[in-house]
Amino acid sequence: MLSPFVSIRRDLHKIPELGFQEFKTQQYLLNYIAALPQERLEIQTWRTGIFVKVNGLKPTKTIAYRADIDGLPITEETGLPYRSEHEGRMHACGHDFHMSIALGVLTYFVHHAINDNLLFIFQPAEEGPGGALPMLESEAMKRWMPDMIIALHIAPEHPVGTIAVKEGLLFANTSELFIDLKGKGGHAAFPHLANDMVVAACSLVTQLQSIVARNVDPLDSAVITIGKISGGTVQNVIAETARLEGTIRTLSVESMKKVKERIEAIVKGVEIAYECEATIDYGSMYHQVYNDEALTKEFMEFAGGIPGIDVVRCKEAMTGEDFGYMLAKIPGFMFWLGVDSAHGLHHAKLSPDESAIDKAISLLTTYISWKGNNE
């Protein structure tokens, strides 16, 4: 028989929505939560997100659990019977898993009271433009500010039953990068009368790659990736404009600052060299995910004692997660949940093993029960 939370995951998988557009998703979650016993619940919506507080029996603290709820602008290619019904949208980062697991944990604690308060946070816009920071600053969050916070992220590369985590830095500092160049267009036969922004853009991409090689401490790590270049109109017209779109990732706040300083200096040089105008937009910026040392170590030891759970100490990754903003203010941790998929995160064929859902629910309810009754 299909697990009810696997069924929920499939329902949610059909309706992926982009950041701050999660209207169907929010309503689905609210409908489910409304069907639960309400005696100990307090519910507050925030934009397309939701806070659910479960009042404890003898609370001395509040433990929060966060799940992100948005999808990605990707056309699904899994061929699954419950594939996305929203053209060009997909839960390709596992947020459908994250939500169904959170509902499973919430359901358990509605029926099994513990001493401490619990706060479930269904957060929109993790993939962009970033929902964690404004949600953190909301009135509901200030009113119910937790003492610790937990989250997970699916990991396609790990088998089901594996928890990958580490104390300290887990995910990098990240920033989007958009650079627009404006020169002077013209006929392809008369390049001397124009300022070609395709040439300027190509030169800029090459120069940007020198930053990591020559301006970042070799013992630190950074990435500058330009994933998209657009410019020009037709093959025989010199391009008046060009646009570069990319991402910056660093393992330290200091390196992020240094990388941006060098980007700005190089772009100023391109403006002079190619007689053009340039603008830089850093878009969404995410704080590093830094796991609390003591809480993470405690969780690793606890999870390692549960049959069927294999705890792996992982390395830090250059992935980005706006949960980092919450961890910067609230002690807690994030861990990777093994889901054993042949295709990785943000891939159109990502198909995680659904048996990981009930394993995660069992692990989290066991840990939170222990944590919420023993301190």
Which residues, given as ranges, of the chain have pLDDT below 70? 375
Residues in the chain: 375
pLDDT in tens, 76-110: 999 999 999 999 999 999 999 999 999 999 999 99
Under 8 Å between Cβ of 361 and 101? yes
Instruction: Please give the structure tokens belonging to residue 278.
Output: 């340039």
- In whole angstroms, give the CA distance from residue 84 to residue 75: 8
Query: What b/e readout covers 307-324, taking b as 16+ CB neighbours within 10 angstroms?
Result: eebebbebebbbbbbbbb
pTM: 0.91
Determine which one of 22, 127, 180, 196 is catalytic.
127
CB-CB neighbours of 146 under 10 Å: 24
Token pair of 345 as six digits: 């995160």
Cα gap 310→155, rounded to integer Å: 14
**In sequence order, what DSSP letters do the residues of 113-158 get, joined into one string?**
--SSEEEEEEE--TTTT-SHHHHHTSHHHHHT--SEEEEEEEETTS
Give the model's pLDDT for residue 284. 85
Domains of the chain: 4-171+288-373 (3.40.630.10), 176-285 (3.30.70.360)
For tokens 């300027």, name the residue.
Answer: 200
Spot the catalytic one: 17, 22, 68, 340: 68
List the structure tokens of 209.
């790659």
Q: What pLDDT is attached to residue 1? A: 81
Q: Which pLDDT does position 375 carry in this prediction?
A: 60
pLDDT in tens, 164-187: 999 999 999 999 999 999 999 999
CA 104 to centroid of chain Cα atoms: 21
The span from the CA of 230 to the CA of 246, in Å, is 12
Can 68 be counted among the known catalytic residues?
A: yes
Q: Give the dihedral sign, CA 188/191/197/201.
A: positive
